[in-house]
Structure 1
């Protein structure tokens, strides 16, 4: 495996239009910063206020250790993007209290560039162009607003097919290459080995795990200010029907993979034969929550639907790092976000998510293989991951609206025994409302 793992860049043209529309129309307002007021820059060593979540806290702690001349005042906030945005508005009202650097969901970053937030700083000229060019194709799309680069993406999360190679061999099953085969194995597993499962649809991000993989218009970018929402589209109903089939058979759990009950019932006793999910499942779920034994976990490329020409997957997570235009230490803040998104820390054990910065991806993957988190079984894992990255579906836009709605509706409904078919109408209604509130013209 090479130190630098280069992924395919065939999706640039498709991604560009959607990215531009997201940046321009998230709130229906002009973007790029409503104010052109320049903040006077301070002299001397920088003191930077950082808002981050707990997962990324070690990144900033490592930066502080490596850069004693910079003082970081870190506030750990496990807040939703909406709560963070509200805190920005409070700072706008009082005229103080902004962080210099903010870690937020990548899909929410561009909304902070427009009124009423007017928060983001254009990083062009503050971050080397050659560094920017080495981020994986598409990962900086949420950070691009018109001609401005308003954040750097620290990590991203293509979906892959996780599986237990020992169980696959013991039960005599082969890895599925299509979703139809995935369902067939799930039904066979439920009949031959009751109590074992092939996943769950009760996770807050499973709109991306399953529906984006089917190119379901929920929502789909269709024009400059337009999206289509139709969860009765055949691309969506095939997913809904598969989920219900596997739920009825007992091959899908009704709890989320990060739920302690799921870990007790399926994860720790190694009763998960396979499970579609983001690349961060390996360290954050299997290794940390289930304490999986070395050699019991590997991943394969995402399956495709038989009717489709190629496999697709969602981009299921990741954080973007935004610099405040109010900062008195803008270059120092830009240097900080550059280090946490490109620096050597990304290859250490404490870094659990896939770097967006390509030169660090090979080292990250090598480390996970060498410490036993991932077992190499057949296809080299860098090739598998490259296929997953290239399969990220760019037709899905404004992911934040979709995922917020899915997590507020679907997990609770499935947890109470409802079918996915029964749940979809409420999901669609709430999704349309969310999108319209975000300034989109919704075709349904």
Structure 2
């Protein structure tokens, strides 16, 4: 496996020199300053690649090999008239990346919002801090802060009463923080920041968009992109919706193994692959991650190896757990990824390695109180990477 590390560019509190010390060899990054819908030029890509790969004397090199992500313009997801221009711009960016040697591209097709959490500093019994999604807080925001039109129809009477109680017990500061956590944008997100009114306006655009229509818009996008990906040996790796279920009345279409089977049936191109985000898929109890790692092995080009712990009484709520101590059998997931690599090598595939990275590490030890992108602190991710590396080495010795 190829150990990678997500880097958000020169403003990232974690420097390239520090990443080199983790033992990771590959960088996962993006041109974060380029707005969605604009072309990533060869000049900009090469300059960024040089920034990452220029190596001080006697130091081990780093390689920019995975893009996370080229943002998909909202007009493409909506299927608006004229979205072909944005599809072509995305395709041109992909081709330009390939010409610069960057050929694994993670992307998502989540409407409006990217990954969503209600708490960015949920304290664990250890004293470290984790990201958390609390369904009751989310419902309180949806119903009583955002006041989404017809939101009540998405909740039971018990859920409505619970959300009301949660809202009534929140301070004004807590309500503001919850709003910021959900819609004001997080470092590393590939979507815009919103205020409440602009967020409502964005949601209104999707009132007539069903899951079937959103999937059709994804296929329209892939019809253009996949032939070019094949021609330039690019591996596309779609990321699941996070959390993997409908939210705010928005359809979500990459949530389960069934969703992936549908995607590959409708778009069977070998360039059409996935990012196996173990934590995202694992936040649904009906997703069997070791089985998914086996069944979709040939489609897995990239993997986020993190785990979550779901609440016993509310399975939609979860926090980001230790990488090896969660509701997910991470050891079995890694074993099946290693077996997939072994299968690729046996068939003569030269690019058999799967890119992996630790994801959403805890804020802990010396990182507490320091500037950190939520979920992307130094020590927590290094701890996760070290644990994953140990499992990989132990399993590899027996394969």
> Which has more radius of gyration?
1
